[in-house]
A and B are shown apart, each in its own frame.
Chain A
């Protein structure tokens, strides 16, 4: 490759796109700005991007230290997202191992079934799943959401595709050393699958974190609400106070955004493999 020199055309395009990306992100910048203002200043036009009267602390207190606070919603969301992510990883990794490295009768059929399961849209089974959860006595509990979020044929598929590429010699060597299948799975396959496990984990975590429909249908008590339901709750309580609403949006978005920026490589890669392999 020849050494790249800065090309004027590309520099201009880069600047142009930097401006476009700034405009693209304006709604989020507006959110941050409005969350730091007094209510009267929210609507001033032209927009005061830097608040004249700072009100960040008060809005922050309303959102985080009220009777019903975002702190509670956070605990609920973290609990549900962590447990369902861990469960999904274990269950899908086990299934991925079986589908890629163990020979058993019916494996082909099970794999085809998994692909077929991927086509069942969650939205089409809302009613029966709600009835099942009610009949099981799990309505209005976090267990309902975790149970519904533990199984994913999509992630099983991604893990299986990755594990197919693990060399059989490594597994055979472990077996010669006397390892059983569980041992091989735990000490050989899982460590070798770490990159894909991280990718699947972070994506599953983000999806669960942002899920609105599941909690909307399965939960009733305010104290069990996750962050998206908390947003709904704040809308009902403070809908007219835009600065407070924007602080709530900041609370819902910013921590996840920080997580994303820290792990952007895994997130973007994860989205891309899902897309390219189909």
Chain B
């Protein structure tokens, strides 16, 4: 056989490859994605479905899985006659209303000033961000001392300026939630500043230059340029902050255990108490599903309004 023919043969008739590149890529794709997908199915999706099933049962862990018995929708019906749960729901709503708009307002003003006016921007970014990366529990311990009803610096200061009967903060039924809201705003402000700053950096400098030429002052520029162009960022922050405020737990557990007298309880704390202190697994699961549905509702607002979002 001539050399020519040999070359032709190898080129012409590649042996039937079963294992084509395309097939290998298919397989590789699935193998690479598999750990993540399987993991998420096991630690997120299955538990979500499992808790829906559990929410229709009464079970206290004793006697193993065979001791579960179904009670239909009773847990859900009981939930809405449960004063603690209702109190928790109310507190969650109060918490969101009291912290989200305030942090966002402070966040946008602070970041606008840092972005446009201040020297040493890097310092301010870091300084306000510090509480956000600190352990919530460790921070809570500090504030608990600051809030001490008789000896703490806050109340000593208040008494010094003539308030003889200052609030007892964390141990006061009418102030416990507010006291925690203050810590929360303090810890979260830095996060909001970072996100707003990122949004502002994306606004083209020319817009401000043009406005300056037209004689617009700083506040006018903020209202007419910065605010409208920050629409998507603001929207994103409003949604995510609302969702995370509904998940608040760490501070409540560490500082008040939902008290005094359930004045600072929230949904996640009630899930913890019913599930992990009273071992009412079915009942706690029903609460979990109410939380999940609330969060889905807030999220779906994002999906629905996504296409109508303010674009300029």
Contacts and interface: CB of A to CB of B under 8 A. Distances in A.
Given A11-B119, A98-B29, A246-B141, A119 B295 contact: yes
Contacts of A275: 194-195, 198, 233, 236-237, 240
B154 to A, nearest CB: 10
Residue from the set A132, A206, A245, A271 with the largest chain B CB neighbour count within 10 Å: A271
A121 B271 CA distance: 13
B236 A278 contact: yes
A50 interface: no
B292 interface: yes
Contacts, number: 277
A271 B190 CA distance: 11
A17 B118 contact: yes
Interface string B224-255: 00000000010011001001000101100110
A30 B146 contact: yes
A199 interface: no
A253 B135 contact: yes
A99 B125 contact: no
Given A156-B36, A181-B24, A252-B137, A246 B142 contact: yes
Contact of A13 (B36, B113, B151, B152): B113
A66 B250 CA distance: 26
Contacts of A246: 141-142, 145
Contact of A123 (B125, B142, B247): B247
Interface string A123-136: 11111111110110
A131 to B, nearest CB: 7
Interface residues of B, number: 93
A120 B45 contact: yes
A95 B33 contact: yes
Residue from the set A106, A182, A275 with the largest chain B CB neighbour count within 10 Å: A275
Interface in B248-292: 249-250, 253-254, 268, 271-272, 275-276, 281, 284-285, 288-289, 291-292
Nearest to B22: A103
Contact of B275 (A102, A110, A122, A127): A127
Given A104-B30, A249-B138, A271-B191, A242 B113 contact: no
Interface string B282-312: 0011001101100110010000000000000
A27 B233 contact: no
Interface in A187-208: 206
Given A150-B39, A267-B133, A13 B47 contact: no
Contacts of B160: 45
Contact of A151 (B43, B123, B130): B43
B208 interface: no
A110 B113 contact: no
B142 A28 contact: yes
Contacts of B46: 128, 132
A106 B26 CA distance: 10
Given A27-B142, A212-B250, A107 B113 contact: no
Given A212-B254, A227-B135, A98 B33 contact: yes
B17 interface: no
Nearest to A213: B249
How large, as a class, is the contact surface on chain A?
Answer: 35 or more
Contact of B284 (A103, A127, A252): A127
Contact of B153 (A47, A182, A209): A47
Contact of A249 (B30, B141, B186, B202): B141
B67 interface: no
Given A14-B120, A151-B43, A242-B145, A181 B153 contact: no
B204 interface: no
B129 interface: yes
- Which 6 residue pairs across A and B have the least CB separation, nearest first? A104-B29, A151-B39, A95-B36, A98-B32, A252-B138, A128-B47
Given A30-B153, A275-B240, 12 more contacts: A10-B117, A28-B131, A43-B152, A45-B153, A94-B35, A105-B26, A114-B36, A124-B295, A125-B47, A249-B138, A253-B139, A275-B195
24 contacts: A24-B189, A25-B127, A27-B139, A27-B142, A30-B145, A34-B145, A94-B36, A119-B296, A120-B292, A124-B292, A127-B285, A128-B51, A134-B61, A151-B44, A181-B28, A181-B32, A213-B250, A248-B138, A252-B137, A257-B130, A271-B191, A275-B237, A275-B240, A276-B199
